[in-house]
Structure 1
Amino acid sequence: MSDRRSDPQDEDQMEFFTQQLMLLQEKAMLHASVREEKKLLVENAKLKKDIDDLKNNLQETQKRKAVKLHQERVLTASIASKSALLGDTGPSARHTGGRPDTGSSRPEGRRRRERRGVDAAHLKTSESVLMREQKPDVSRLDLRVARILDVRKHPDSESLYVQEVELGEPAPRTVVSGLTNHVPPEQLVGCLVVLLCNVRPVKVRGVQSQARLLCAVNQESMEPLTPPTSAQPGDRITFQYYPGEPEKELNPKQRIWERLLPDLCTDAKGVATYKGVAFEVRGKGLCRAPNISNGGIK
């Protein structure tokens, strides 16, 4: 019987191949782990973005809901306070034992009409209270400095000018104003003026007006407000204590301009003001009416 012994060289090769196989297996597992980690990172980033978007949507919804809730509370409180002042006008105050009070000297039809009148007055008062709570301020207006480039008479009106004005925009705007009886056209050309720029364009006697030229007025005369001499077309007119941003376009149904008009005037020095706060081109000076003090603005 022959004695068979293993070749040491073969055993070394087997051990080497075994180690290489184990290394390859570990490397494969590591690569799979890295791929899985990258995949998880991408998914986590997507989940984080989705969460941030949901949070932003939730915050916007909560803000809108809070504003609506505040408005409803103001209106409810106003109605309640007015109801308390008016007293009980319901049917229980006019009936006894479930039967009409026949001893009253007023016919039933007249009482119903009076009740309807009280309800209408009540609703109108409540709406007025809510409107006062939501009254806008002058920061809603987009007031800017402009330069008049050209003035001509309106083709269909003797009392109107048609002006082309520069606002620092790509093209001039057309503005219709009622200055023909107050200022000669040659005095307007080249002048700096104040424009309300976020009104909706309207046709005035067939000519579209794209802004409103602000003027000081009294019983005798009317003249454009004059910005500081260092101002440039396009400069914004601001108001201390009213830092809000103007609306892109004023909604005619809200009548914001008309509601602000009573608080716009020139002071004793001719400075244009809103509730006593001056029209200001920041860093350059105030807007004035050269010849009209303690006047209105329109």
Structure 2
Amino acid sequence: MEKGDDIINPSFAAALMKMDPEDGAQIMDYIRTQALLSREKALLQSSVREQKKLLVENGKLKKDIEDLRGQLQDKQRRRIAKTLLAPVTPLQTSPASSADSPAPSLVDQPAVERRDGQRRKRGDRRSRSGAGSDLLLGMEPRLDVSRLDLRVGRVLSTRSHAQSLSIQEVDVGEPAPRTVVSKLGANIQLDQLPGAMVVLICNVKACKLRGVVSKARLVCCGQSKDCIELLTPPPGSTPGDRITFLNFPGEADKELPTKDHVFERLQPDLCVDSKGVAHYKGCGFEVKGKGLCRAPTVINCSIR
């Protein structure tokens, strides 16, 4: 049996040979070739469909792994917080030692009670004032870039302010734009900023600068304070898009503690590489599905 005969009806082949003995064999060869091509095409299409299916399943598995990693980190934080806030179990004295120790006299009992009451009050005050800080210490076992709430924004308007400061109104995907007070370099033309896409830190504590409350911080890059550029998100980004880091999936702080100087401590590891891509410890500033954040022209410089 020749290759391709299994998909051709024998009765059809016999009828064809009877009708056209001279060219019947060539026609049969042509039909076999076309049948084999159709079969290979079907197999190839099936392989492509399987490959696409595997890619989709791989993406789902990757997302599940990230979710599980986040849940594990949350459990670790809760366990640490629970350990720090757990009450201390008082030491129990043995009957022999309690019998040997002299009992306080009636005159000493009020003083002992007063001292115990004062200790309890001081302990209550310490627990009330220190619970937040202890909990914070328990919930903050890390110091990495995931603590920054980095988002994409669009500059709506800008104007000059006192002492080389400027004020920008920036859309970050919220009902109202955020006011940002910045000190930009002389090389940045304010009249060219409206409509520009920028990157902001949105969980800095609001502060008043020369009478105007600033509610975010523009992310810049450059070799010096006098010559800087605004970091730009990838094409296709929209206001409110989150900037994440593949190797640092933690949740951002609701508000960065001012006294901890989180951004200043992270800054030595924030840089723009030789290709103009923004990095933290070798991990790019990424808007998922859209690309990486970049510097417009500068390379090999720090992020400010």
TM-score, structure 1 normalization: 0.56
Partner of 2:193: 188
Partner of 1:253: 259
Report whether the alignment pairs 1:212 with 2:221.
no
Report whether the alignment pairs 1:64 with 2:81.
yes
The alpha-carbon distance between structure 1 residues 260 and 67, as it changes in their structure 2 partners (threshold 3 A), is farther
For structure 2, the 5+ residue unaligned runs are 1-75, 87-136
Partner of 2:301: 295
Partner of 2:205: 200
The alpha-carbon distance between structure 1 residues 134 and 278, as it changes in their structure 2 partners (threshold 3 A), is same
Instruction: Quote how far apart the aligned CAs of 1:180 are.
Output: 5.0
Distance (Å, rounded) in 1 between the aligned partners of 2:228 and 2:276: 13
Partner-residue secondary structure (3-state), 1:183: coil
Runs of 4+ in structure 1 deviating by more than 2 angstroms, as ranges, are: 59-63, 65-69
Q: For residues 85-139 of structure 1, what are the alpha-carbon distances to aligned partners after superposition, in whole Å with 9 as ceiling and x for unaligned?
A: xxxxxxxxxxxxxxxxxxxxxxxxxxxxxxxxxxxxxxxxxxxxx9xx9550101
Partner of 1:145: 152
The alpha-carbon distance between structure 1 residues 293 and 62, as it changes in their structure 2 partners (threshold 3 A), is closer
| 1:276-295 equivalence runs, <5 A | 276-295=282-301
Q: 1:165 aligns with which of 164, 167, 170?
A: 170
Structure 1 residue identity aligned to 2:200: L
- Are 1:237 and 1:280, in contact at CA under 8 Å, matched by a contact in 2? yes
> Percent identity of the aligned residues?
56
- Are 1:227 and 1:286, in contact at CA under 8 Å, matched by a contact in 2? yes
- Are 1:160 and 1:180, in contact at CA under 8 Å, matched by a contact in 2? no
Instruction: Quote how far apart the aligned CAs of 1:235 are.
Output: 0.1
Partner of 1:225: 231
Instruction: Quote how far apart the aligned CAs of 1:257 are.
Output: 1.1
Partner of 1:102: none
- Are 1:161 and 1:180, in contact at CA under 8 Å, matched by a contact in 2? no
Partner of 2:274: 268
- Are 2:77 and 2:141, in contact at CA under 8 Å, matched by a contact in 1? no
Decide which moves more: 218-227 or 207-216: 218-227
Distance (Å, rounded) in 1 between the aligned partners of 2:146 and 2:275: 23
Distance (Å, rounded) in 2 between the aligned partners of 1:194 and 1:61: 32
Decide which moves more: 232-241 or 59-68: 59-68
Distance (Å, rounded) in 1 between the aligned partners of 2:250 and 2:77: 19
| 1:46-85 equivalence runs, <5 A | 63-66=80-83
For structure 1, the 5+ residue unaligned runs are 1-58, 70-129
Distance (Å, rounded) in 2 between the aligned partners of 1:60 and 1:271: 32
Instruction: Quote how far apart the aligned CAs of 1:186 are.
Output: 2.1
Q: Which has the larger radius of gyration?
A: 1
Give the RMSD, CA atoms, in angstroms: 2.3
- Are 1:175 and 1:212, in contact at CA under 8 Å, matched by a contact in 2? yes
Instruction: Quote how far apart the aligned CAs of 1:63 are.
Output: 4.0
The alpha-carbon distance between structure 1 residues 62 and 160, as it changes in their structure 2 partners (threshold 3 A), is closer
TM-score, structure 2 normalization: 0.54
